[in-house]
Amino acid sequence: MPNAKSQMLTNEEQKQYNRHLILDKIGEEGQLKLKQAKVLVIGAGGLGCPVLQYLTAAGVGTIGIIDDDVVDQSNLQRQVLYTIDDIGKSKAETAAHRLSRLNPFVQFHVYKEKLTNKNAISLFQQYNVIVDGSDNFATRYLTNDAAVLTQKPLIYGAIFKFEGQVSVFNYQGSATYRCLYPTPPKPEESPNCSEIGVLGVLPGIIGSLQANETIKIICGIGEVLADKLLMYDTLSMRQMLLKFERTDKAEVTELDNDYEFFCGIKTATHEITLKELQNNLTTYNLLDVREDWEREQHHIGGQHIPLGELAQRYKEIATDKPVVVYCKSGVRSQRAIDFLEQQFDSITFLNLKKGLG
């Protein structure tokens, strides 16, 4: 039950939200709904930044931020909550600190951890609305299933190069993510922005639309994007609204044991930590499959063949020793190993666990 303080606006809050209070369809009633609302935002990256900024500015009373990542310099092109002084710091903590200066009337809960099938249900139960700002299919399916099981509306957003998508799932019996995407694409068909790039303003546009849907749901206004997928193209400025229906795929009885396996992200058979590698450097050959600009910033030696060039250049790889393949996070290097193991029968390939970070 809302406490007495949450059922009224202080004088300072009335000043802060003046433009909402004089706005028809929101007013004091809508602003109080925002104050009493609890929203969990998954990811404080490209999509999460604008979502968090606008929900904070709007006066959502309690905002949860879950993200286990730290700020990287390459994030600054689009993740506008951060500055160069934040490099290496926790995204979730940094975001909450900066947002509290935007609106001191919002309470933030920070979770410096990865969303998993172990913590998703308990987290979701504490919030009214879930906003998905993740960047991978395993987390999207996990988020969908946990939202269904906890009966929470889910605000979805996704970006790809110059295009974005927005929808609302599981809202008052509406269709879910699994209704729209019953099966995940193959990993090689869904590269992330660190491999193919993304227009810097795109997550700002899509994240703002996600925040808009969240506010509409909380205030009970407008037509929610349930059973509809909005597709947006920044190059042509074209928008398309695709309608879809709830299917039997919406029925979820429990969380999957391994969402990465479900999405075809193979766990490396052989892994080695950075510390183990540094203690035995002469034992291995190294292969860096990151992009040129990543290599220039930092590397630990070895050959350099970007993942996109591997199919044409794999014969250049030195194979007189076991080969440790590395990238930023361990995902691209695992894809490289999947390919290389088909080309070499008797060579041992090891994935650098969690990459260079």
Give the residue numbers marked as catalytic. Answer: 193, 327
Q: Is residue 30 within 8 Å of residue 187, measured between CB atoms?
A: no
DSSP class of residue 187? G
> Distance between CA 169 and CA 176 in Å, rounded?
5
Give the three-class secondary structure for 6: helix
Pairing status of strand 129-132 against strand 154-160: parallel
Q: Is residue 91 within 8 Å of residue 108, measured between CB atoms?
A: no
CB count in 10 Å sphere of residue 146: 25
DSSP class of residue 353? T
Residues in contact with 342: Cβ distance below 8 Å, sequence separation at least 6, in sequence order: none
> Distance between CA 294 and CA 246 in Å, rounded?
43
Instruction: Put the strands of the sheet holding 303-304 in their side by side order.
Output: 271-272, 349-352, 323-326, 285-288, 303-304
